[in-house]
Amino acid sequence: MAAHARAGNPLRARNMLELILSRRLQPDVVCYNTLMNAYAQARDVPGAMAVLEELLSKSLEPSTVSYKTVLKAHTVAGDMVGAETILEQMQRRRTPPDLQSYNTLLKGYAATADVPAAERVLTLMPCERVQPDHFSYSALVLAKAKRGNVDEAEQTLASMQLQRLQPDPSCYSALRSLQKRLGNSSAAKGLSKQSQHASSSATSLGQSPSSSRITAKKDFG
């Protein structure tokens, strides 16, 4: 079932769940989370939400992962209003959003280049006792870069470096592309050097450069 979910094949994942039910076994929250993830991978928001409702109808209590999975479905589909609604549901049901939840939301705002929304979320996080990390600020850099705000994006990047927060590699790539489009070849080369230095620093600390990319944790428990 998990393999079908990773492949983004909700039909086959659903068939596996039906097989479990046909054997008079009771699927647990992990099973429903896995099915939700299949719909999320397929960018089928209504499908993911339907599974969440099905889980609730079985008198099962959604886990934090349940909500994070449908949150991811909304952000991947670009439905940020729906994503914010899920965040509110998490707070109401006493499954408060964690760092990964907020970073998923920020990744969505980075994709839509919504700088004010990303800044609002970053301001909100400490109020909810969640400390932003390098993924959080990297999302803001990406949002500004996609908006074309090169100066603001580089200021945020510099601020991260002063705080010893390792920017996501995609930040350098986005800013480098933006500087090239603006005809600033020297600035683009400077960003290439910064990116190489950052990769070398990460490697010396025993980190893989690819491990710092903004990704969703594969966890269905």
> Along the 221 residues of the chain, how does pLDDT read in single tens digits?
888 888 888 899 999 999 998 998 889 999 999 999 999 999 999 999 999 999 999 989 999 999 999 999 999 999 999 999 999 999 888 889 999 999 999 999 999 999 999 999 999 999 999 999 999 999 999 999 999 999 999 999 999 989 889 888 889 888 989 888 888 888 888 888 878 776 665 544 345 444 444 443 444 34
- Nearest CA-CA partner of 166 in 112, 123, 210: 210
Q: What is the structure's pLDDT at 199? A: 63
Residue type at 182? Answer: L
Q: What is the pLDDT of residue 217?
A: 40
Q: What is the largest CA-CA distance in the chain?
A: 67
The angle at the Cα of 141, spanning 199 to 128, to the nearest 5 degrees, equals 105
pLDDT value at position 82? 96
pLDDT score for 200? 61
Q: Helix 115-127 vs helix 99-111: angle between axes, to the nearest 10 degrees?
A: 170
Angle 211-216-218 from CA coordinates, rounded to 5°: 95
| φ, ψ dihedrals at 42, nearest 5° | -85, 5
At 153, list the tokens.
Answer: 């994006």
Of 150, 68, 149, 75, the C-alpha closest to 112 is 75
CA-to-CA separations, 154 to 83, 184, 191, in angstroms, rounded = 28, 14, 10
